[in-house]
Structures are given as structure tokens and as C-alpha cells.
């Protein structure tokens, strides 16, 4: 978290009802921009994919552990929410209402509250109450079907498209829009942040190409890895290179680096794509990955090595720009994008659930006796 007054979200208070996937990522983005984020963790921590103390999505944030099934704990949560600008929750529709922490209850306390709801399917629709994960949302949006080799099942693109691009990043953008609108109206609002809506938005260009008749079946398009000049190739040492020589001048640079005659290896005839791909594959496989990096790194052929995460953190370009940072010994992406008036302050390390429980309770006016009672009753931990 950046505490400087130059941070664009300095003074904005965010409460995140601990959730999985996109919710923590949205909270991280807001914390990176200077907001004060407090996580309301559960007294019995959730099963998570990343240990709390190593999870970059918790950087720059505080944590209080509350049992929200307990009335006294809910009262504490409502006190926090009453003083914040943004609430992020990622439960199924209706759960926060049953807890007494739904939009109506919270906005009675705080009419300026931006109440951000993050789900996979959204707050309405036939699937709203069903479970799902990233792969299901990108499948139902059409995005997954467009990926990969036509002779194989679509590949799984990690959980980047749904959870983090269509989910967390879109929700953070909506929060910023709602905060901006609040400056005009003075009122908060409820955000229905559905991952499937965000992923659908990401397909805008592809659907435009489809409508224009320039997007065909899987395996026939430039951007699905079918074109010889927009795909990956294996190298002699078991590595890979990524080729993105879309424009003709870049394609000419690619041919030059590969030692191929441009008069013979023209790119206009799609029926020759398999032949060209085979030739490129043969040449790339004849040398190691780092050889090709040296051949192409000073050209506009748009050929780069396919790096591992560890290699990415050590790449000279990333080192120069500070693309990655280390927090408590954990390599992770630095806050992005960069703002000219925002100081580059390293994020503070992630906190385990409940690390600031007592401090936050004291800030809310609870006495030492009250804090001890909340702990004894299992309301706080």
C-alpha cells in the first residue's frame, strides 16, 4: 500500500469480505493505487491455493478475523463498512443478505458506499446460484472454444482470462467508475461484477471479426495460433520461441533471420500455411532457444523466447523497468500501470488472517474488555 498523498486512491477505504480468485485480485489493484484495504477474514481460514503470507494479492492490506455468523461480529463488520468507501464481496447471490450484510443493510449505514459484488455467473440468470470456475466461465462465453489446435481439446489458459482479466480487473475498473460518479451524485451504488460478463467483453474484437467474415473455424485464424507467423515453435534444447510477425515488414525480418528466400516463402496463400509452418518448425528446432533470442533481439521480427516465471523476473527488460518486485522474499509483479505523479513505493508484505484484529477493534472504539469478550465468544480471532 502506498501511503503518500500522491497516490490516486489515498484516503479511500476498502473492506473486502475474504473471498477467492477475482475478489482478492481486485483488492490488490486498489491497494496498489493507494487505498486502505481491510480484509475481513474468517475465524476459520478458507482453503487457499497460495499460503497467506506469500500471496501477493494480500500485499499492502490489513486483516481482521470475524465470525460473521455471530451477531457481535456482524456489528463490528457493519461499523467497518459504515466508515469505508468500497465493499468487495464474492459470495453467491443472497449470502450476504442472509448474514445481514447485504446492500440494503450496508447502504442504510453508508449511503456513499460502493458495494462491489463479484461472482462467476452474476446476480441473475439461470446459472446464478450454481458453482463454477474460471474454465466454466470462459467456456460459456465462447472464448475457450476459439483457442488451440483444431485436432485437440481447447487448452486451459491458466485462470487468467476469467478470474483475473474478466473478473478482478473489470471489478476494479467498475469500482473506480463508481467512485468517480459518486463525486457528482454523492451516492454509492451496487456493482454486479460477473466474470462471464467481463470475459464476454474481452471477446469484442474477435466477435467483430466474426461478424465481418474474417474469423473462421478454429485452426484457420491468425490469432488462434494457426498462422505460421503467429504461433510458438520448439527449439533444440526443449525450449520455445513465440513468433508474432503479423505485418509484412516484420514477416520479412523473420524470413531474414531464418535465412529464407522471401520470393519463395510468401505469406499470401493460406493453403501454404502448413508447409510454411513445417519449414519454420524445422529451422527453429535446429538451434537452441537462446540462439534465436540473439538472432532476433535487435530486430523487428517480433520473435521472443518463451520464458518461465523465474526467467521473466531476471530478464534485462524487466530488470530495467522494475516490472517485478520482491516482497518478503516473494517475487511478484510490481504495481501497474504506472502513474507519473505516483511514487514507486514497494508494497508492504501480506498479512495472515487476523493479524490486525485487536488494532482494528481499538480503532472502532472497542475497549480491551470488549475485545477479550469478542475473542472469548468466538466472534473474533
Q: Do 13-202+325-376 and 222-306 show the same overall fold? A: no
First to last CA, the chain: 24
Q: Which residues pair with 192 in a beta bridge?
A: 117
Query: Is the pTM above the cut of 0.85?
Result: yes
The CATH superfamily holding the domain 13-202+325-376 is Crotonobetainyl-coa:carnitine coa-transferase; domain 1 (3.40.50.10540)
The CATH superfamily holding the domain 222-306 is formyl-coa transferase, domain 3 (3.30.1540.10)
Bridging pattern class, strands 36-41 and 303-305: unpaired
How high is the pLDDT of residue 209?
A: 97
How high is the pLDDT of residue 1?
A: 43
How high is the pLDDT of residue 5?
A: 52
pLDDT along the chain (381 residues), means of 10: 69 97 97 98 90 96 98 98 98 97 98 98 98 98 94 95 98 98 98 98 97 94 94 98 97 98 93 96 98 97 98 97 95 95 90 97 97 97 95
CA dihedral 73, 76, 77, 80 (to 10 degrees): -170
* CA 78 – CA 81 distance, rounded (Å): 5
How high is the pLDDT of residue 46?
A: 86
In this prediction, what percent of the chain has a pLDDT beyond 70? 99
How high is the pLDDT of residue 332?
A: 97
How high is the pLDDT of residue 346?
A: 87
DSSP annotation string for 232-263: EEE-TTS-EEEEE--SHHHHHHHHHHHT--TT
Which residues are known catalytic residues? Answer: 133, 163
How high is the pLDDT of residue 4?
A: 47
Number of neighbours of residue 261 by Cβ within 10 angstroms:
8
- Whether omega for the bond prior to residue 55 falls within 30 degrees of 0, making it cis, is no
* CA 158 – CA 180 distance, rounded (Å): 33
Closest to 74 in 3D by CA, of 46, 97, 52, 50: 97
* CA 359 – CA 352 distance, rounded (Å): 14
* CA 356 – CA 63 distance, rounded (Å): 5
* CA 8 – CA 251 distance, rounded (Å): 42
Q: Where are the domains of the chain?
A: 13-202+325-376, 222-306
How high is the pLDDT of residue 9?
A: 97
Q: What is the pLDDT of residues 118-146, one digit of tens each?
A: 999 999 999 999 999 999 999 999 999 99
- Per DSSP, 13 falls in state E
How high is the pLDDT of residue 323?
A: 96
How high is the pLDDT of residue 319?
A: 97
Q: In Å, how far are 31, 220, 238, 274 from 254, measured between CA atoms? A: 42, 21, 21, 17
* CA 213 – CA 92 distance, rounded (Å): 39
The radius of gyration of the chain from alpha carbons, rounded to an integer in Å, stands at: 25
The answer to whether 256 and 265 have CB atoms below 8 angstroms apart is no
Amino acid at each position: 500500500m502506498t501511503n503518500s498523498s500522491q497516490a490516486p486512491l489515498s484516503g479511500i477505504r476498502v473492506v473486502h469480505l475474504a473471498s477467492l480468485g477475482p475478489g482478492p485480485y481486485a483488492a490488490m489493484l486498489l491497494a496498489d493505487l493507494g487505498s486502505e484495504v481491510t480484509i475481513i477474514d474468517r475465524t476459520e481460514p478458507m482453503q487457499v491455493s497460495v499460503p497467506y503470507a506469500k500471496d501477493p494479492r494480500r500485499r499492502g492490506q490489513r486483516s481482521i478475523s470475524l465470525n460473521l455468523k455471530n451477531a457481535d461480529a456482524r456489528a463490528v463488520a457493519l461499523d467497518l463498512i459504515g466508515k469505508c468507501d468500497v465493499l468487495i464481496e464474492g459470495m453467491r447471490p443472497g449470502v450476504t443478505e442472509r448474514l445481514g450484510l447485504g446492500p440494503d443493510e450496508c447502504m442504510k449505514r453508508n449511503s456513499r458506499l460502493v458495494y462491489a459484488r463479484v461472482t462467476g455467473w452474476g446476480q441473475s440468470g439461470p446459472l446464478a446460484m450454481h458453482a463454477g470456475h474460471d474454465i466454466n466461465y470462459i467456456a460459456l462465453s465462447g472464448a475457450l472454444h476459439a483457442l488451440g489446435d483444431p485436432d485437440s481439446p481447447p487448452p486451459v489458459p491458466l485462470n487468467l482470462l476469467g478470474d483475473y482479466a474478466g473478473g478482478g480487473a473489470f471489478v476494479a475498473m467498475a469500482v473506480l467508475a463508481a467512485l468517480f460518479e459518486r463525486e457528482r451524485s454523492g451516492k454509492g451504488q451496487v456493482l454486479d461484477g460477473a466474470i462471464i460478463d467481463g470475459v464476454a467483453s474481452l471477446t469484442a474484437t474477435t466477435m467483430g471479426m466474426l461478424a465481418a467474415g474474417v474469423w473462421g473455424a478454429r485452426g484457420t485464424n491468425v490469432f488462434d495460433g494457426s498462422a505460421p507467423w503467429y504461433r510458438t515453435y520448439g527449439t533444440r534444447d526443449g525450449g520455445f520461441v513465440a513468433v508474432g510477425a503479423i505485418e509484412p515488414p516484420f514477416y520479412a525480418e523473420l524470413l531474414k533471420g531464418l535465412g529464407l528466400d522471401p520470393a519463395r516463402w510468401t505469406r499470401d496463400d493460406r493453403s501454404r500455411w502448413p508447409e510454411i509452418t513445417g519449414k519454420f518448425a524445422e529451422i527453429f528446432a535446429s538451434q537452441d532457444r537462446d540462439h534465436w533470442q540473439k538472432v532476433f533481439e535487435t530486430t523487428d521480427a517480433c520473435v521472443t523466447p518463451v520464458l518461465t516465471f523465474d526467467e521473466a523476473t531476471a530478464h534485462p527488460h524487466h530488470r530495467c523497468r522494475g516490472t517485478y518486485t520482491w516482497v518478503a522474499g516473494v517475487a511478484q509483479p510490481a504495481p501497474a500501470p504506472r502513474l507519473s505523479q505516483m511514487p514507486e513505493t514497494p508494497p508492504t508484505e501480506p498479512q495472515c488472517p487476523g493479524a490486525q484484529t485487536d488494532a482494528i477493534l481499538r480503532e472502532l472504539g472497542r475497549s480491551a474488555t470488549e475485545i477479550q469478550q469478542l475473542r472469548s465468544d468466538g466472534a473474533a480471532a
